[in-house]
Amino acid sequence: MFTGIITAVGRIAEVRDLGASSAHGKQLVIEAPAGYLDDVGLGDSIALNGACMTATMIDAQAGRFAIDISAESLARTSGLDRIGPVNLEKALRANDRLGGHIVSGHVDGIGEVVHFAPTGESWELRILAPRELAKYLAYKGSITVNGVSLTVNRVADLPAGCEISINLIPHTVQNTALHALAAGARVNLEIDLIARYVERMLSAPGAATGADVSAA
């Protein structure tokens, strides 16, 4: 589990094929800031742009680690198949502060940036989310964008999908890889975990009448 509070900005330095066909995944070698990997062990979870991955190689002294990502995960995420900056977050410990919101590290859909520009001292980020995620997006609700826990300021249901508007304070822009976004960029989205369960409870058989379906 994660919180959506980015703990470092790393860089995918190498992308290696794990096989010769499109059915094979990739191995990513990621550079991390000095000291970031000192408390990370083999098999630990690290979120890359919001996608939970497992560390399969660690060279703490060199500040590099590797993960293997399957073809399935590559097809359902964005920005993890090429060299460039990535948001990093280590897995949540039981005694850590929950500074953002509960994040699973499972990408629910790919959004498209339609607007990213300064407004006053902050930045406005507008993203067109897939239509199937619209029911989980609400004013003042939480959304994870490339692993960053953010608050939705406006929601507009459009024919092409659901457009959400987010305000980014300077600290967020300066300390995450979101500063590299531009109109047309694709981003990883994870909906709020609580919204997912609420939707399931309301849509499950018997939910409307409160009927007991445990024996069905």
Q: What is the pLDDT of residues 29-62, one digit of tens each?
A: 999 999 999 999 999 999 999 999 999 999 999 9
What three-state secondary structure class fits 8? strand
Q: How many helices (H) and strands (E) does the chain have?
A: 3, 12
What local confidence, expressed as pLDDT, does residue 94 receive?
A: 85
| Single-letter residue type at 27 | Q
Measure the CA–CA gap between 15 and 26, rounded to whole angstroms: 6
Query: Residue 154's closest CA among 201, 115, 99?
Result: 115
Contact by Cβ (8 Å): 59, 148:
no
What local confidence, expressed as pLDDT, does residue 40 receive?
A: 95
- The model scores a pTM over 0.85: yes
Looking from the CA of 200 toward its CB, the CA atoms found within 13 Å total 6
Structure confidence by residue, pLDDT tens digits, 88-136: 999 998 888 888 999 999 999 999 999 999 999 999 999 999 999 999 9
* Residue limits of CATH 2.40.30.20 in the chain: 8-90, 109-202
What local confidence, expressed as pLDDT, does residue 51 receive?
A: 98
8-90 in CATH: which number?
A: 2.40.30.20
Domain 109-202 classification at class level: mainly beta
| Single-letter residue type at 66 | A
Measure the CA–CA gap between 125 and 195, rounded to whole angstroms: 22
